[in-house]
Chain A
């Protein structure tokens, strides 16, 4: 094995070949053989070849084989003389998670859960190529690119308070609405307010366990509480932005004399015209994703109200992206430096005191949302100083896939899984039993082991665990 043990949760991949920095993997010893077998180590090494990469090529405990960069990978490059890479962000730009709390205990609505799930399934379009209730002209979509979730609230899709506890106030200010191509615009025009397919979902959950009562209370969470978790991203619009720039960056990489072991990592200097064009377009795509989760929040709020006939006090706990590159200031060797932090399947975990953390949470740190697979737990964690020092303020984003879709289909029947989850007290609504089987819990790593590795290594701390009671599967 190529990893060198630093402690029980930190494993270094020493520099070799064209690597500009070493790799650093956060994992338990038990996870490591899988990392080797799945070529996560190779991909961490490939990422370490990016020009201008600073300190380490990182992998979180949920890392698995992706394309170019592993899912669960993190790379910070110098904003002055480093590169930006669309492949180190991924196709689903700003795919992320939003947690909403209610004033109710889950037990209070137990009998109504089937009707609640029917209402959510009907209200929030899901599945392959789903079209949403919002139809936008090209000019209006450019406004979404610029204003993100703020556009949605301005248009009546939500409440002003929804924007208080979301990353960046709901919009990245560096978005350039003219950068997404006509095709990206076309693909975004009818997909706002849709969940999509694959591992995207909307879950009703119960807060099953609280680990840090004070922090949980500050986040508005209490034991037994009914909460709603939304997992989706920028849909076809984001895929198209990434696809367009991956192709243009192939020639940009040649132009700037950049040679990489994996073409999916193609890149351009951040300060170059090509780098700036991608960054502006990516931020626009990220804002589309934030608007998407905001519109879904509105649709869900209406649906739940229709069933229960009363306001549930549905409020945003937090909204985090896990596929993004952001320019951030971090301390490197005692000096503050501007870095392009690429996170692909990895979540911000900023600690107390950081200006990026919403005022309401600044005394404890930002909430970190780690969704599990269907039928398993999801977690709320909190950001830490250790994360800030070691991982550019980053932690894991989810359970991490362990089994291919083909393997999952061989092992699991969609109908059988649906019934099994029902027996566990989880109501599932989906258009695709095949899709359900592909996303079976057994296809994923144990989210609790991933979270435990994050907690014990100190890159985030456990605050609460939720268990699902209803799932809308995309």
Chain B
């Protein structure tokens, strides 16, 4: 299987569903799903590289931390990832090298306030990882 995401309706908010065959592609697909919620495309490759390390006590914590980091970059720094290399990825963390571009006037379809813990679930077995996270928009 290949990594995919889906954006699902929720009364007030938006639910992001991510499915992937392994942890590196899972974290990449989650980022791509978030960009889609913003109405952003990775676009041209950015000139800068950001190195990040996300860790947590559970896969759910890592996912929220990862999405929160991206929400901060996009919402506060107007910095958009255009590509990413994920390494040392597992259920409790990963490191990533993000190619990013910063735009003065970033055109976003909507504001994403946060990735929430409500209804958060990450289910993993040997061949598949599936997650649902509700984004407050």
Interface residues of A (CB under 8 A from B): 38, 64-68, 71, 87, 91-92, 128-129, 183, 186-187, 196-198, 236, 239-240, 242-243, 246-247, 250-251, 262-264, 266, 401-407, 432, 434-435, 438
User: 19 interchain pairs (CB within 8 A)?
Assistant: A65-B11, A66-B118, A87-B118, A129-B78, A129-B106, A129-B108, A183-B72, A183-B76, A197-B110, A236-B75, A239-B114, A246-B114, A264-B117, A264-B118, A401-B11, A404-B10, A406-B7, A434-B110, A435-B109
Residues 7-26 of B, flagged 1 when their CB comes within 8 A of A and 0 if not, give 11111111000000000000
Contact B118 A128 (CB under 8 A): no
Contact B108 A128 (CB under 8 A): yes
CB contact between A67 and one of B57, B108, B116 (< 8 Å): that residue: B116
Is B137 on the interface with A (CB-CB < 8 A)?
yes
Contact B12 A64 (CB under 8 A): yes
CB contact between A71 and one of B12, B78, B113 (< 8 Å): that residue: B12
Contacts of A129 in B (CB 8 A): 75, 78, 106, 108, 111
CB contact between A68 and one of B7, B109, B111, B118 (< 8 Å): that residue: B118
Contacts of A66 in B (CB 8 A): 12, 118
Contacts of A434 in B (CB 8 A): 109-110
CB contact between B113 and one of A92, A186, A247, A403 (< 8 Å): that residue: A92
* Interface residues of B, count at CB 8 A: 34
Interface residues of B (CB under 8 A from A): 7-14, 57, 60-61, 64-65, 68, 71-72, 75-76, 78, 106, 108-111, 113-114, 116-120, 134, 136-137
Give, as a whole number of angstroms, the nearest-CB distance from B11 to chain A: 5
Contact A264 B116 (CB under 8 A): yes
* Residue from A71, A87, A263, A434 whose CB has the most chain B CB atoms within 10 Å: A263
Contacts of B118 in A (CB 8 A): 66-68, 87, 262-264
Give, as a whole number of angstroms, the nearest-CB distance from A129 to chain B: 6
Give, as a whole number of angstroms, the nearest-CB distance from B98 to chain A: 17
* Residue from A68, A196, A250, A438 whose CB has the most chain B CB atoms within 10 Å: A250
Give, as a whole number of angstroms, the nearest-CB distance from A390 to chain B: 26
Contacts of B12 in A (CB 8 A): 64-66, 71, 401, 404
A87–B109 CA distance with the chains assembled, in angstroms: 25
